[in-house]
Amino acid sequence: MSSSLVLVAYSLVYAVPSGTPAQKAYNHRLKMTRTHLITAGILWLFLLAADLANAQTTIGASVVLDPQDVTVIVGERQQFLAKVRGMLSQDVRLNFSKDHTDLVQIVPSSVLISPADGGFIDRAYEIDLIGLSPGQFDLEASVLPTGLIDDAAAFIRVTVANSQPIILISSVIGWIYFAAWTVSFWPQMIVNYRRQSVVGLSFDFLTLNLVGHSVYAAFNCALYWSGYIEQEYLDRNPRGLNPVLTNDVAFSIHATIATLLTVAQCFIYERGEQKVSRIAWGIITIFVIVVIVAGILVGTETFHWLDFLYVLSYIKLSVTLIKYVPQAVLNFRRKSTVGWSIENVLLDFTGGMLSMLQMLLNGYNYDDWASIFGDPTKFGLGLFSVLFDILFIVQHYILYRNRADAKTLQEDSSTTTTTASNGGSKDTLCILGLLLIASTASQSSEVLLRLQFGPQDTTVIVGETVDVTLRLHGPLSVRATVNFTQTNVTNGLEYVRLTPATIEYEPPVSNFIDRSERVSMRGLRAGIFDLLAHLSPASALVDQSQAFVRVTVAKSWSLITISSVIGWMYFLAWTWSFWPQIWENRTRASVVGLSFDYLALNLFGHIMYAAFNCALFWNGSVQEEYLRRNPRGLIPVLANDVAFSLHATFATGLIIVQCFFYERGQQKVSYTARALLIVFACFVVISGILVASGRYGWLDFFYNLSFLKLAVTLVKYIPQAVLNYRRKSTVGWSIGNVLLDFTGGFFSIVQMLVNGYNYDDWDSIFGDGAKFGLGFFSVLFDVLFIVQHYILYRF
């Protein structure tokens, strides 16, 4: 208001006409008026600063325990921090709960917190946990006297384990059964394709399976992508974490697509008299009615959307209980398993057994048997699915092992069933795992006026609109305005149109604001940029570290879906590309024809890659260093990167073990390869010395490991190509490995081109010649190996 008056007065002064007779008097008045206005402006700024300073002094302190997830091994020590920040008027004591003294020893068990000069404190206290016996619990801290410090985030989730190796083994087992369940859908489609028939595959099973996977995918996608539903879940579980992970979404979508493809085969290939039975249609009708009723309850606000999703998950569980029955009955009536893929069953059985093994390992490692036997539904449903797999194995290998296709199907409603067990135990354990929610979300202390976006990653299609939320939380005593900036804008062409373009905030009576505004973005042109929010008037008391959102403007959702499918295809191709070579070595009982130089370089490269991925994925200090250098970045390593690199290291190591057992002739690692490895090793040692001397950070060390991986990729194929040339033969070098690697490399390049077009982001491909060039370089070597195998040395 005062600034408006100043501007009005200023304009009135300058509105005085300049007459020649009164020029001196007018100039004197003008000078005096300017002086008074400047003085008034300075006084107004002092008042504003006083208000802001007063706003800070009214804020209490808060305490946060960091990190809020801690794993400690029995007999070992693990440290966490108690971070206290804010205004504090007297000494207080932070006491830790003594409810679980049989599991951990807390050193110290309480902390005296004293304010610094001026009453403001910003300090971190180191607390040690010593593991005594395995278990899982929430460690809480309380402050005495109460009311002086906000202790809402004074808790950590503590897991005490018997053994670190068991944790790693459990993680590896988890990825193995995830891969087994994922691949288990495809053998049935291959069987159908080869036979050009779906006779023997229960249509009832297929239909129920499709319903189950569809509702499972809906549950996962909604809880993973819908910010509204995720917030509803967190409101009910204040210390919870979203139970749906990326691999859950990927698996459920893949399962739905794979089942749909199998259903599509039923319309193309011979199917005899099979059809979906009336019993199956009745069950599906019941499920549809339940979904409709749940939707109506949501519409009448009797149900929330989260309750609706839980209904879908219960339908999925119900389907898992009954879907195998029609296939088992069909096999019994036909006295044959022809048309029903046993490989599908074996993969599902492998996944189910490993998943239960993982549960037992975790039960022992964390002394958490109650999560298994205390909830018989979860373990029982997994065992139920495995028992059906055993029944199918008995039917295939014992009861009907010599029965062919001779026995035709009778047209019977109960004999009309469909496909193979595409994921019994996996579905059960995944869904029930989602329903067993027992963790806690971290909450940050509110000391400053904080401006933040949510979510901080979003995708919008050109011509469509998406909403994000901008929240202002903290002390506010003056009127404030938020303006927006789009980065990477060229020639004034913005990527999105924002509504509203600015946001005004009026200070509430209490001088403390907690207000969220919806900001709509309409896509104008494809591109990738950061949308930044700026609060004015600017102040050091405003935290804008999260006032940004990474926006991807795409031309088409279809291209995004295609890119995602291509990504999973080349991930699977690369993952399985190691095993044809292992199988060929075993079949020949020989490794003659396989270059030992290639193997040694490949093992070194994958070890470097695994170390880089594991450090960035699991090491908190390395992650913090990365985020300090990239304030608006995301950790570039995902779980599938870690899984792939560990799997690649293991598979390459397994091939090397074969070299010690099978015939190898006169082959050995050449002096050239040894020299290269020594150079690489020296590079690693020097990097380690630089880290120890403080000249390097650990992030730089791991970057150097990634550079070594790139260097290995450039040279590792040369020894194998030279060996093939000298022998004039590719015998001993698996062409299956080459074809899978070529498929993965080709699809990765296709994905890059699709994304380049969809996001108009060609600089990420051609602007970074190393990335595109290395992928293209590997594909060219695969082409060379294919030419050697099928043309040059085919005879």
- 733 burial type by CB count under 10 A (0-12 exposed, 13-18 middle, 19+ buried): buried
pLDDT tens for 485-528 read 998 887 778 899 999 999 998 888 888 888 889 999 999 998 88
Instruction: Give the pLDDT band (50/70/90) at residue 257.
Output: very high
The alpha carbon of 728 is separated from its chain's Cα centroid by a whole number of angstroms, namely 46
Sequence spans of domains, the chain: 61-161, 164-398, 450-554, 557-791
Tokens of 48: 């504003």
Tell me the three state secondary structure of residue 595: coil
Cα(60)–Cα(120) distance, rounded to whole angstroms?
9
* pLDDT at residue number 719: 93
The alpha carbon of 624 is separated from its chain's Cα centroid by a whole number of angstroms, namely 18
Nearest alpha carbon to residue 95 among 32, 141, 164, 138: 141
Of the options 3.90.380.10, 2.60.40.10, 3.40.50.300, 2.40.30.10, the CATH number for the domain spanning 61-161: 2.60.40.10
Q: Which one has a higher pLDDT value, 297 or 234?
A: 297
- Longest alpha-carbon distance in the chain: 123
Q: Classify strands 149-153 and 120-131 as parallel, antiparallel or unpaired.
A: unpaired
- 66 burial type by CB count under 10 A (0-12 exposed, 13-18 middle, 19+ buried): middle
Instruction: Give the pLDDT band (50/70/90) at residue 608.
Output: very high
Does the pLDDT value for residue 415 go beyond 80?
A: no
* pLDDT at residue number 543: 82
Instruction: Give percent of the chain above pLDDT 70.
Output: 82
Helices (H) and strands (E) in the chain, counts: 25, 20
* pLDDT at residue number 434: 37
* pLDDT at residue number 91: 84
Q: Classify strands 480-486 and 502-505 as parallel, antiparallel or unpaired.
A: antiparallel
Q: Write the DSSP string, 388-450.
A: HHHHHHHIIIIITTT--TTSPPP--GGG--B---SSHHHHHHHHHHHH------------SEE
pLDDT tens for 51-62 read 434 433 344 788
CB 482 within 8 A of CB 533: yes
In a 13 Å sphere around the CA of 612, the CA atoms on its Cβ side amount to 23
> Tokens 């490895």 correspond to what residue?
677
Does the pLDDT value for residue 69 go beyond 60?
A: yes
Query: ω into residue 455 within 30 of 0, thus cis?
Result: yes
Q: Determine the residue type at 336.
A: S
CB 708 within 8 A of CB 677: no
* pLDDT at residue number 205: 93
Q: Write the DSSP string, 243-266.
A: ---HHHHHHHHHHHHHHHHHHHHH
* pLDDT at residue number 167: 86
Instruction: Give the pLDDT band (50/70/90) at residue 371.
Output: low
CB 19 within 8 A of CB 26: yes
> Any long-range contacts for 747-751 (C-beta under 8 Å, 24+ apart)?
747/566, 747/567, 747/569, 747/570, 747/573, 748/570, 748/775, 749/775, 749/776, 749/779, 750/566, 751/563, 751/566, 751/567, 751/570
Give a three-class secondary structure readout of 278-308: HHHHHHHHHHHHHHHHHHHHHHCCCCCHHHH
Q: Classify strands 155-161 and 527-536 as parallel, antiparallel or unpaired.
A: unpaired
Strand ordering across the sheet containing 120-131: 104-107, 120-131, 77-87, 61-66, 149-153
* pLDDT at residue number 373: 57
DSSP-H helix ranges across 58-161 = none
pLDDT tens for 82-110 read 888 888 878 888 888 888 888 888 888 88
- Which has the minimum average pLDDT: 549-558, 733-742, 768-777? 768-777
Please, what is the average pLDDT of the chain?
80
Does the pLDDT value for residue 375 go beyond 70?
A: no
* pLDDT at residue number 765: 62
Phi and psi torsions of 449, nearest 5°:
-70, 120
Instruction: Give the pLDDT band (50/70/90) at residue 302.
Output: confident
What letters, b where the CB count within 10 A reaches 16 and e where it falls short, cover 352-376?
bbbbbebbebbbebbbbeebbeeee
* pLDDT at residue number 48: 44
Give a three-class secondary structure readout of 73-99: EECCEEEEEEEEEEECCCCEEEEECCC
Does the pLDDT value for residue 16 go beyond 50?
A: no
CB 587 within 8 A of CB 685: no
- Which has the minimum average pLDDT: 188-202, 231-245, 365-379, 449-463? 365-379
Does the pLDDT value for residue 386 go beyond 50?
A: yes
Mean pLDDT of 761-775: 60
Mean pLDDT of 17-21: 44
CATH hierarchy code of domain 450-554: 2.60.40.10
Tell me the three state secondary structure of residue 480: strand
Mean pLDDT of 367-392: 71
- 249 burial type by CB count under 10 A (0-12 exposed, 13-18 middle, 19+ buried): middle
**Angular region, 335: left φ>0, alpha ψ -120 to 50, beta rest:** left
Cα(564)–Cα(571) distance, rounded to whole angstroms?
11
What is the separation, in whole angstroms, between the first and last Cα of the chain?
92
Nearest alpha carbon to residue 350 among 318, 393, 319: 393
Cα(603)–Cα(597) distance, rounded to whole angstroms?
10
- 81 burial type by CB count under 10 A (0-12 exposed, 13-18 middle, 19+ buried): middle
Phi and psi torsions of 702, nearest 5°:
-75, -30
Q: Which one has a higher pLDDT value, 175 or 35?
A: 175
Cα(436)–Cα(381) distance, rounded to whole angstroms?
14
Mean pLDDT of 575-585: 89
DSSP one-letter code for 506? P
- Which has the minimum average pLDDT: 511-525, 543-557, 625-639, 757-771? 757-771
Instruction: Give the pLDDT band (50/70/90) at residue 403.
Output: low
Does the pLDDT value for residue 304 go beyond 70?
A: yes
- Which has the minimum average pLDDT: 16-30, 561-575, 581-595? 16-30
- Which has the minimum average pLDDT: 321-335, 534-548, 610-624? 534-548
DSSP one-letter code for 632? T
pLDDT tens for 200-256 read 999 999 999 999 999 988 988 888 888 888 888 777 776 666 677 777 788 889 989
DSSP one-letter code for 336? -
Cα(649)–Cα(665) distance, rounded to whole angstroms?
25
Mean pLDDT of 664-686: 91
Distances (CA, A) of 78 to 140, 153, 430: 16, 19, 31
* pLDDT at residue number 439: 36
Mean pLDDT of 735-759: 87
pLDDT tens for 680-734 read 999 999 999 998 888 888 888 988 998 898 889 888 999 999 999 999 999 999 9
Q: Determine the residue type at 514.
A: D
Using a cut of 0.75, tell me whether the model's pTM lies above it.
no
Q: Which one has a higher pLDDT value, 462 or 543?
A: 462
Instruction: Give the pLDDT band (50/70/90) at residue 120.
Output: confident
- Which has the minimum average pLDDT: 20-29, 510-519, 624-633? 20-29
- Which has the minimum average pLDDT: 53-57, 246-250, 271-275, 744-748? 53-57
* pLDDT at residue number 410: 38
Q: Determine the residue type at 314.
A: Y
